Every structure is written in C-alpha cells, then in structure tokens.
Amino acid sequence: MSNNLRFKTSKFIDETYRVSFKFNNKTYFGFKGDTLASALLANGIHLVGRSFKYHRPRGIMTSGSEEPNAIIQLHDNSSRTEPNVRATEVEIYEGLVASSQNCWPNVNFDIGGINNLLSPILPAGFYYKTFMWPASFWEKYEYFIRKSAGLGKSPKVADPDIYEHKYIHCDVLVIGAGISGIMAAKMAAKNGFKTLLVDEKSYLGGSSIYDNSEFSKINNQITSSWLEKEINEISKLENLEIKIRTSVAAFHGYNFLLARENLTDHLPINQRENKVRQRLLKIRAKKVITATGSIERPLIFDNNDRPGILLSSAIKKYIDLYGVACGENNILFTNNDTAYETAMSLIQRGIKINAIIDNREQIDSKISYEVEKNNIEIYKGYTVVDTYGYRRINKISIMKLSKDGQTVIGDKTKLNCDCLGVSGGWTPAVHLFTQSGGKLKFREEDQVFIPNVYPSDQISVGSCNGDFGLEEIIRNTLSSIKKFLDIDNSEYKTVETISGLNQSKRNIWLLPSDKSIGKTKSFVDYQNDATAKDIKLALREGFRSIEHVKRYTTTGMGTDQGKLGNMHALGIISETAGSKMGEHGTTTFRPPYTPLTFGTIVGRNVGEFFDIFRRTPIHDWHVANNAEFENVGQWKRAWYYPKDNENMHQAVQRESKAARDSAGILDASTLGKIDIQGTDASEFLNRVYTNAWSKLAVGKCRYGLMLNEDGMVYDDGVTTRLGENHYIMTTTTGGAAIVLGKLEDYLQTEWPELDVYLSSVTDHYATISVCGPNSKKIVSKVIPDLDLSDEKFPHMSFKNAKIDNIKCRVMRISFTGEHSYEINIQANFGKSVWEKCMEAGKDFNITPYGTETMHLLRAEKGFIIVGQDTDATLTPIDLQMDWIVSKKKYDFIGKRSLYRSDTIREDRKQLVGLLTENPEEVLEEGAQIVADIKKSPIEMLGHVTSSYYSPNLKKSIALGVVKGGKNMLGQKLIIPMENKNINVTVADPVFLDKEGERLNVKL
Amino acid sequence: MFLINCPFCGEREQSEFKAGGEAHIVRPKQPTELSDDEWAEYLFMRKNIKGVQFERWNHVHGCRKWFNMVRDTSNDQIKAVYKMGEKPPVK
Ligand SMILES: [Zn+2]
C-alpha cells in the first residue's frame, strides 16, 4: 500500500493524535479529525461493500450524508452495534470497529457476486413478477432472498446508551452552517432574534471553509479565511445558539422540526458512560431559514459504480479538508466548471491528473485556463463510455459526443487511472423544503428544481435555493434575509467577491454509449442497484408516474432516498417519455432526511416507560399472592391465582367452583366510574341509555346499555342513584375514557341546555366484589353496623357505610349471578379492606378470583361482555336483550337506528348459547359456525364468542353469534375445525339459574 | 404538527387534541319522524373536501372542551377557531 496518500496540510486533522481502528478485522491508523471514509482512503482502501442486488464491489463515493455505497456495520456483535452507518459520517475514535455489510464470506470474495453474472434475469420488477406467483411459493423464495440480501444486522441485546427528547423554541432556526447559513444566523441574531443554528457536520462553514483557492475570494481574502473570521464573530453572539453534529430529520407543517443531535458518537466507547448519546430536538421556530446547500450529481454511464469512482467534489474535500488523496493517477469527468476546482486542489499538492474529460465543446473560464496551463489534457466534447477494473477502477474508455449529445462518434480511446472524479453539476438539497409542503419549480437553464411556493414562514437561501456562484449566493442571501426578517441593517457593509468559475453546463441525463442500452450497467441508484435500463424497462411496461417507476425499479428507495440519482431518474423518464421535467411528478422526500436510531425516536420511553400500565390499589396483594396478570386497556388485571403448580385451567376451575359453593372475591377497581351530578342528571341518563331512568329511586342501582347513534351496543354497566341529582355510572374497564368522551361530546355539543357535570372518578375508588352464598356473612363481619337483610338491603340497591370510620359505598349488584356485594372505598384504603375481607372470609374458604373466572361465571349466566360477545355490529335486539330497550321513551341515542331496514332484518347475527354434543369438548373462541359442510362454498353463519368448561354445570358452554340464531333454538349446527367437525346444539344463552334464585340464596 | 389555538386555553400542540369530524351537523330533534334515508343522511354522510372545511375538535388532553375549527385541508392552515354554538367567523 502506498504511503504517499496523506498530505500534511490540513488544519482540520490533528497529526499529533493518532487513532487506531479496525476495519474488517484489520487494524489501521488515522488521525483525529478523520472520518472513517477519509481514514480508509488514506490507507488506500476504496472497496468497502457490495451492492444490494448484484453484489458488485462498491467503494466510497461521496464525503457526506448522501453516501449510497460506503454503508458499514459498527461494532458488530456488541451491544452498541449499529447497521447501515455511512462511513463518510463516522468520526473515527480510538477502538472503532467497522465491517462491511451485504457480503459473504468477505468483501473481496463475495458469493452473491454471482448475481452480477445473472443480472440479465434480474431486471426491474423481477421480484414482483417472479415471486408473487404462485403465492404459496413465496415462503420458499423469501428464505433465499432474505438470506442473500439484507443490509446489516440488528443488535441482539439491549442498547446500553441513553437517549432523550428536548423541546426548543426559537425565533429563527437556521439549518446548515455553510456560507449563507452563517451570514443568515449573524443577521438574525444581531437584529434581536433568538436564533438557533444547526449543522450536521462536526465543523462550521460547509464547503467554503476549505475553499483555499485563489479563484474565489471575498473582500480580497481567501474565502476560507474570510469565513473563519465570520464564524469567530458569531460564536460570541449571545442571541445565537449553535449546534453541530445536529441533523434536521423532519420539517413538518407550522415550522415544527425534528433534529437529531449527536453527542457521544465521536468519543471512544469508554468515554461515553452515563452520557446522553443522541438527543431528539423538537423545534418550534417562528421562522425557518433553510441553507442546506446542494449535492453534486454523478454522471450516468456504463459501469459508473466501480470502487475508485467518486464525486469530484468529494475528491476535493478529501484533499482540502482531510489531506487525503483518493488516487495517484486521477481523471476527472465533468459537464461543468466545478471539477476544475478539484483539479486545482490536486495540482497545488502535486497529485497527478491524467486527463479531464469534459462533455462541453467550449470551456471558457479563468480556472479552466489555469488548469490547461498546468499541461493537463482536456478532452472537450467527450464522454466516458466504459470503465474497467474489478475491485478498483484501472482504466476508462472515452469517445467523442455527437453534436446533439445523443450518440458517440469516432474512435474509442483508453486511459489509465486509479481514481475517477465525476461531476454532473449540482442539485439543490430541497428535501426539507418539500417535506414542509413546499412546491418546487423547474429551472430549464440549468435543469434544477428550486423552491417556489413556501407553505409556512420560511425561506431557502444559498445553493439549496439554486444560487451556485459565490457572488450570487452572497448577494441573494443578503437581500432575501433582509426582506424575510424585515430588517434594515444587514450587518454587512460591502461584500465583494471574485470567482474564476462560469456557470455553464452541458446536461445529459444518460450519457450515450457505443453499446446498446441492454448491454450497459449505468447505475442511477447505487444503493438499490437500479440502472437506466431498468427505468426504461419500467416505462416500456407502461409505468408513467414517478412514484410507480420508483417502486417498480426501487430507485430512490434505499436508506439514502436517492439523494444522488433521483434527478437522473426523472431526467431519463422525461427524455424517454418525451415529456417535460416534473410532468410525471417529482418524488416525495419523506422524513427522516438521514436515518434515525430507534433509541433517538423513543428517547426515555424504554423499559417500564415504553408502554406504561395502570395498577389497582390492590395490585401488590395480587403480586404477593402469585397472581398471573392480563392486560385490559392500560390496566394490569389479576387473571387467575395458580396454587401449587396449577395451570390456568385448573386454577379457574377451582376459583369458579369456590365462588358458587361458598365465596369468591374480585378486584373490580378497574371498572370505569363516572360521577354524574346536576338537576338534569336523570334526563341525561334517559337520553344516553336504552332503558328508562327517571323513576329509579334514590339508593337503587340499574343495569344500562349504551348504544352508538347507529344502534350498535357500545358499552354497559350499572349506574346507582346516590341522591336526587347525583349518580355514579360504571363502565367497562376498556371503555371508561371513550364513554366519558362521548358523554361530554353530547353534553357540550347537542344538549348544552342540560345541567349536568361529569367527572372521572375511576382512580379514586377501589372496588372489591365479594360474591357467593356466604358473601353476606363475610360482609357482615367487615361492616357489622350495616343491615344486610334482604328487606333492608335488597338486590340492586346501595348503602352508605363506614369501615373503621372510613366512608364507603356498598352496592348489592352481581355480575356472577351469585348473591354479592361491591364495596367502593377511597383508593388508598383498598388493600386494607381487601385484606379485611380475606380475613373475614377465612372460615368460608373465600377464594380470590381473576378475570378469567369472572368471565366464566358470567358466561354461565349468559351475561355479555361488550367487546368480546359484541363487536359494534350488534344491536340489543340481536343480543336478545329486547327487555332493556324502552318502548315508551321518545328518544335515546341510537333509538332511531333500531328500526332501519337493515337492523330489523330477521337474518342478522344474533347471540345464542351453544352446547356441544360431547359435554367435555370445549369450543375455540373465534371458531366458525356452519349448518351444512357439504355445500361449497360453505356458508359461514357466525362464530363462537365465548367458550368455557363450567365446573358448576359439569359441561362445556359457549356463546356465539349466528345468523337468524334467535329462531334456531334446539337446532344442530357444526363447528368445523382443522381435524374434526364438532356438533353443537343452539341453546338458551342463560345456562344457570334462569330464575335468579341464587341472588337471594340463604345458607 | 399543528399549533391549535384552543378558545379556552390558548395555543397548544396538536397532540393534546382529537379531531371529531365535520362540524355544524345537528342531531335531529325528532328522529322518529325521519325516513330511513333522512336518518342515514344525518348518521353517515360526511364531507371530506380538499380545501376549506369546518371541523369539530376536542381539547382532550387539556380542558376537555369541544370547539369548532375552520381548516384548509389542502395546506393545513387553520383559518379560525370558535366555540360550540357560535357562527363560523369566516366563510
Ligand atoms: Zn383547552
């Protein structure tokens, strides 16, 4: 490996600070200030990866976030491993470990490279065409595709780093600290605007900060020197906050932006402990100034993807900023003047340039004359038609372009090189502008899209606005910022510039070749291996919209979102289709601008904060008593309490038997509770429930069903009249918030005349339900002062009581069909009252039961669970609950819908009971119900909604919905399962104690 | 993300609010007098226009109040917010 690639001239590289790092298991050295890419190039390494589809060798192509090829895995097999990292953005540190992706067994010999030879059978849309049919084969194809494709490996253990989110509010946000961003930030801050300036790089100044050429000067100073003084000045401004290593990921409406601030990624791993790694900034800016610069375009010709082919501007940056030569025998290939700046940077350091290939016939700029003076051969009006060299470019062949640029003429000349710099002009980085909803316009003269209509208080300045020359960048930045901020003083007296460049360009989207297009591989999207040929094929096959072509060819769908090649894709489409640029749409750039880590996105919401849950006041008791939990909404509810290695079935059988034989206790604290007060409370309940409420006496409870306006059951629960104008409503656990929201909606918007106030009190009370034939004895021990006689305290009534002087409400209501009491007490006393009940019930084998037993017990009684037995397509009539729908009330929510032509159909699905022929056979919930299995296709009549083995009835019971089920009592139906058909009989959904005698059972 | 000027609380992030569909649809006072078609018109038919739209919003993670909003759906510009029962201040 040659040693003369590093030039000790850059002030951005600290040559006294040597850094060792590993790449593909070999140790290399770089300097502090290097990126992984610059350090690899200084070691003569171009080949860093393999392409996605054809596994072609690929090298470092750019020097920034637009990099499509040099995508690497950091710290493989460690907790900090990260895939798909751009080597051009990684600042090296001691101990960095990087490896190539998408190649096996290694980057130099990659088995997948055979795809390159097979490429004639891997055209655009190959995956769609081949793998979509027959569908049953997909699993087999997928295995091979997944194995051979895939970019990088995800980490297998928890991320040890800390991330956080932060809100920032500012008057002016400036995105990009290049020359126009620096000027804009200074003007804003000096004029009293609270300003934030962000840049994705580790330094300020953009590409001008290493512009040391005699050919561009500001106020008679070298550009970089002038800019350094400016940076020095603004870094002292009080009104200005500057954040480097901060990349704006998303620009949303209303000037809301997301940015990722990188805080520790450039530090050695052992210096990162207890520091925040990345911060997601949520920025609200009154005004936004976008100064994101521009990205150099590659040129599209045959085999334009070999390692050693870089953007010309990247070669300039590597030598000027990092002091690294990308090659020793360079050729530049261009259609505009900027490549000559690269040439001058190389010439100044004595790095050899073999030739410059320029598409243009006429070149007339000071800088090009200067290059010519250095005896460098310039092939004017020529194009590259092919390149050679497998792991590194070693030759190119060139031909003369015809006058119209559509074909090549004359003889082919071969030229040697080890590095080819390409420059196809510049594309304004309008990604963030378009994300914000901005509309672009196409500028014909130099074939660029530039900002046209701003959707919010924002402006674009500099080359992202289509100003490319130094003089016009400065002039236009000054004038438009003055106008945008409405200020008189620009802070700049006179700024005079000198530039040796002309803005002439000969734009040819797809350069011609002596071969037919079918025989070329001219890459448009390097990362996804999409070629010009693929795009033309897509057009031939009838795709027109850019969004369709994009998906069909996968152009622009890599992690770089086609930052380099999208313009060429559009250009080739418009040329081939004979339409205007932009006529078929421009692709939409979606956030994030560069990929974000999951850590940044979730911030501190990890571990127990990822998906927070609610605990009842009695939760700790359940934990201590071995409960298994289930999630209901955000709640953790005790599911069952296994004893001595019981499985769930055994535990539930024991719990439900105990509840009916003696006593059970349930934590019902999660039920939604809404306090309703006001002189119109009764009238309000009349309107929201299907049954009548005005005659409910104080101290009484009533079960109610709530419908949507479409007549479908929506929630249910018991509501108690606590006083003349005071009710407490209970809702289902999952429905509490939605019910409250819906009630508020009606109160505020439809019936504002009603005097009713609603408050959620779910969290204020613990609710303990004691049920079973011995429940009365137990409750009388807990609340001795309360008269529990059936005369004084009948079913469906309520009493205020006290336990140890603490007020509580006791309801005699039942969801199990057993004699039962519900004690509601201030939440913080919940656990002690629960323990009191346990103590009092000791002699009666009081058994705590969870939600599973609760479901079984209520199913024995045929009580529905909204959301399990119903699914927003069932009316109360469908549920055979006609009794709860008031015939007398003029109106209630959903009433009118109950006699729409559709809701009165006889053959709607209706709730029925199901009994299996074999009483031991338990149905699967969700199983289909049919009548005739010989018919083809089999008609599905409905499905099983609830199914259990009842230890009390000693048989399997189930609820289900069946078309016309109401009139099918006694009829035989079939539940077809994978290996058998189960015979069932339609039954009454109330399986146990239809007369309700257990409610008043006396022991 | 919008900044919404709740008529009761002032400017807040969109994440505190919930959209509630088209505004100024009044629940019929006498639903039983309506034909199936008339009831269906109230129940199901909602506009979804590109352009200026009148909407209901709820400050669900704030004051819990419902209010109305005039929003241009083509560019998400909020033209006005006003309380329930009030007439739209813009056309
Ligand atoms: Zn509010």
Report helix angle A338-348 to A366-373, nearest 10.
40
Tens-place pLDDT, residues A627-686: 999 999 999 999 999 999 999 999 999 999 999 999 999 999 999 999 999 999 999 999
Contact between chains at B40 and A900 (C-beta distance less than 8 A): yes
Contact between chains at B85 and A741 (C-beta distance less than 8 A): no
Distance, in Å, from the CA atom of A169 to the CA atom of A517, rounded to the nearest integer, reads: 53
Distance, in Å, from the CA atom of A387 to the CA atom of A239, rounded to the nearest integer, reads: 53
Which helix (H) or strand (E) covers residue A983, if one does?
strand A981-987
Q: In this structure, what CATH number is given to the domain that contains residue A40?
A: 3.10.20.440
Tell me which DSSP letter residue A843 carries.
G
Residues A525 and A437 in one domain: no
Q: Tell whether the model's pLDDT for residue A1 goes beyond 50.
A: no
Contact between chains at B66 and A745 (C-beta distance less than 8 A): yes
* Residue A225 within any structural domain of the chain: yes
Task: Check residue A10 and give its pLDDT.
Answer: 78
Q: Tell whether the model's pLDDT for residue A115 goes beyond 90.
A: no
**Is some CB atom of chain A closer than 8 A to the CB atom of B56?**
yes
Report which of A884, A872, A861 is spatially closest to residue A989, judged by C-alpha positions. Answer: A861
Tell me the pLDDT band of A957, cut-offs 50, 70 and 90.
very high
Q: Tell whether the model's pLDDT for residue A128 goes beyond 60.
A: no
* Residue A131 within any structural domain of the chain: no
What is each CA distance from A410 to A396, A513, A762, in whole angstroms? 16, 12, 86
Distance, in Å, from the CA atom of A558 to the CA atom of A84, rounded to the nearest integer, reads: 10
Distance, in Å, from the CA atom of A341 to the CA atom of A352, rounded to the nearest integer, reads: 15
What is each CA distance from A44 to A29, A98, A324, in whole angstroms? 12, 16, 10
HSE-up of A923 (CA within 13 Å, CB side)?
A: 29
What value does the mean pLDDT of chain A take? 93
* Residue A155 within any structural domain of the chain: no
Which of B26, B44, B76 is the best substitution to test chain A (most A C-beta atoms within 10 A)? Answer: B76
Distance, in Å, from the CA atom of A614 to the CA atom of A303, rounded to the nearest integer, reads: 60
Residues A478 and A534 in one domain: no
> Near ion ligand 1, which residues have CB within 5 Å?
B 6, 8-9, 59, 62-63
Which residues of chain B does A741 touch, with a Cβ-Cβ cutoff of 8 Å? Answer: 18, 58, 60
In the block, residue with structure tokens 């296994």: A642
Domain end: A547, A565, A597, which one? A597
Q: Looking at the whole model, is its pTM more than 0.80?
A: yes
What is each CA distance from A781 to A1, A399, A814, in whole angstroms? 91, 103, 20
Q: In this structure, what CATH number is given to the domain that contains residue A328?
A: 3.50.50.60
Report which of A767, A786, A564, A733 is spatially closest to residue A665, judged by C-alpha positions. Answer: A767
Residues A66 and A167 in one domain: no
Task: Check residue A1003 and give its pLDDT.
Answer: 54
Residues A276 and A328 in one domain: no
Tens-place pLDDT, residues A215-255: 889 999 999 999 999 999 999 999 999 999 999 999 999 99
Distance, in Å, from the CA atom of A368 to the CA atom of A373, rounded to the nearest integer, reads: 9
Q: By residue range, what is the domain housing residue A44?
A: 3-117
Distance, in Å, from the CA atom of A380 to the CA atom of A335, rounded to the nearest integer, reads: 10
Q: What residue of A is the nearest CA neighbor of B12? A: A284
Q: Does domain B3-83 have CATH number 3.30.2270.10?
A: yes
Q: How far is A565 from chain B (nearest CA, A)?
A: 29
Task: Check residue A546 and give its pLDDT.
Answer: 83
Q: What SS3 string covers A13-68?
A: CEEEEEEEEEECCEEEEEEECCEHHHHHHHCCCCEEEECCCCCCEEECCCCCCCCC
Q: Is the CB of residue A854 less than 8 Å from the CB of residue A664? A: no
Which of A749, A891, A900 is the best substitution to test chain B (most B C-beta atoms within 10 A)? Answer: A749
Residues A731 and A746 in one domain: yes
* Residue A136 within any structural domain of the chain: no
Tell me which DSSP letter residue B47 carries.
-
Tens-place pLDDT, residues A804-858: 999 999 999 999 999 999 999 999 999 999 999 999 999 999 999 999 999 999 9
Residues A803 and A922 in one domain: no
Beta bridge partners of A167: A282
Q: Give the distance from CA A665 to its chain's centroid.
A: 43
Tens-place pLDDT, residues A330-363: 999 999 999 999 999 999 999 999 999 999 999 9
Contact between chains at A748 and B20 (C-beta distance less than 8 A): no
Domain tally, chain A = 6
In the block, residue with structure tokens 């090649």: A565
Contact between chains at B39 and A896 (C-beta distance less than 8 A): yes
Report helix angle A312-320 to A338-348, nearest 10.
30
In the block, residue with structure tokens 């603490």: A806
CA of A760 from ligand 1 middle (Å) equals 18
- 3 state DSSP class of A283: strand
- Report chain A residues touching chain B, CB-CB < 8 A: 252-254, 256, 284, 437, 455, 709-710, 741, 744-745, 748-750, 752, 890-891, 895-897, 900-901
Distance, in Å, from the CA atom of A262 to the CA atom of A245, rounded to the nearest integer, reads: 5
Task: Check residue A69 and give its pLDDT.
Answer: 92
- Closest to A748 (Cβ–Cβ): which among B36, B39, B66? B66
Q: Is the CB of residue A161 less than 8 Å from the CB of residue A272? A: yes
Distance, in Å, from the CA atom of A231 to the CA atom of A116, rounded to the nearest integer, reads: 49
Report which of A458, A450, A405, A408 is spatially closest to residue A430, judged by C-alpha positions. Answer: A450
Residues A742 and A703 in one domain: yes
Q: Sign of the CA dihedral A872, A873, A875, A878?
A: negative
Which of B22, B64, B77, B86 is the best substitution to test chain A (most A C-beta atoms within 10 A)? Answer: B64
Beta bridge partners of A97: A22
Q: Is the CB of residue A179 less than 8 Å from the CB of residue A208? A: yes
Q: How far is A746 from chain B (nearest CA, A)?
A: 10
Distance, in Å, from the CA atom of A881 to the CA atom of A860, rounded to the nearest integer, reads: 16
CA of B8 from ligand 1 middle (Å) equals 5
Q: Tell whether the model's pLDDT for residue A152 goes beyond 90.
A: no
Tens-place pLDDT, residues B36-76: 999 999 999 999 999 999 999 999 999 999 999 999 999 89
Residues A853 and A864 in one domain: no
Q: Tell whether the model's pLDDT for residue A986 goes beyond 80.
A: yes
Report helix angle A179-190 to A223-234, nearest 10.
30
Report which of A492, A449, A16 is spatially closest to residue A219, judged by C-alpha positions. Answer: A492
Residues A92 and A224 in one domain: no
Report which of A893, A867, A892 is spatially closest to residue A879, judged by C-alpha positions. Answer: A867
Residues A726 and A817 in one domain: yes
Q: Tell whether the model's pLDDT for residue A623 goes beyond 90.
A: yes
Domain end: A457, A473, A499, which one? A499
What values do phi and psi take at A470, rounded to 5?
-55, -45
* Residue A145 within any structural domain of the chain: no
Q: In this structure, what CATH number is given to the domain that contains residue A962?
A: 3.30.1360.120
Tens-place pLDDT, residues A495-514: 899 888 998 999 999 999 99
Q: Is the CB of residue A215 less than 8 Å from the CB of residue A200? A: no
Which residues of chain B does A251 touch, with a Cβ-Cβ cutoff of 8 Å? Answer: none
Contact between chains at A895 and B32 (C-beta distance less than 8 A): yes
> Which percentage of chain A shows pLDDT scores above 90?
84
* Helix, strand, coil shares, percent, chain A, to 5: 25, 30, 45
CA of A710 from ligand 1 middle (Å) equals 29
* Residue A628 within any structural domain of the chain: no
Distance, in Å, from the CA atom of A385 to the CA atom of A383, rounded to the nearest integer, reads: 6
Q: What residue of B is the nearest CA neighbor of A747? A: B66
Task: Check residue A419 and give its pLDDT.
Answer: 98
**Is some CB atom of chain A closer than 8 A to the CB atom of B43?**
yes
Domain end: A475, A499, A523, which one? A499
Residues A701 and A788 in one domain: yes
Report which of A100, A91, A101, A82 is spatially closest to residue A30, judged by C-alpha positions. Answer: A91
Q: Tell whether the model's pLDDT for residue A146 goes beyond 60.
A: no
Q: How far is B90 from chain A (nearest CA, A)?
A: 20
Which of A896, A898, A902, A905 is the best substitution to test chain B (most B C-beta atoms within 10 A)? Answer: A896
Beta bridge partners of B58: B18, B66
Report residue A786 as tokens: 């309360």
Distance, in Å, from the CA atom of A188 to the CA atom of A477, rounded to the nearest integer, reads: 12
- Closest to A253 (Cβ–Cβ): which among B32, B39, B76? B76
- 3 state DSSP class of A255: helix
Q: Is the CB of residue A455 less than 8 Å from the CB of residue A253? A: yes
- 3 state DSSP class of A521: coil
Tell me the pLDDT band of A802, cut-offs 50, 70 and 90.
very high
Q: Is the CB of residue A913 less than 8 Å from the CB of residue A901? A: no
Mean pLDDT, to the nearest integer, of A487-492? 87
Task: Check residue A759 and give its pLDDT.
Answer: 96
CA of B39 from ligand 1 middle (Å) equals 32
Residues A712 and A786 in one domain: yes
- Position A844, amino acid: F
CA of A285 from ligand 1 middle (Å) equals 22
Give the angle A804-A807-A809 at the CA atoms, nearest 5°: 120
Q: How far is A675 from chain B (nearest CA, A)?
A: 16
Would you say the ipTM is above 0.90? yes
**Is some CB atom of chain A closer than 8 A to the CB atom of B39?**
yes
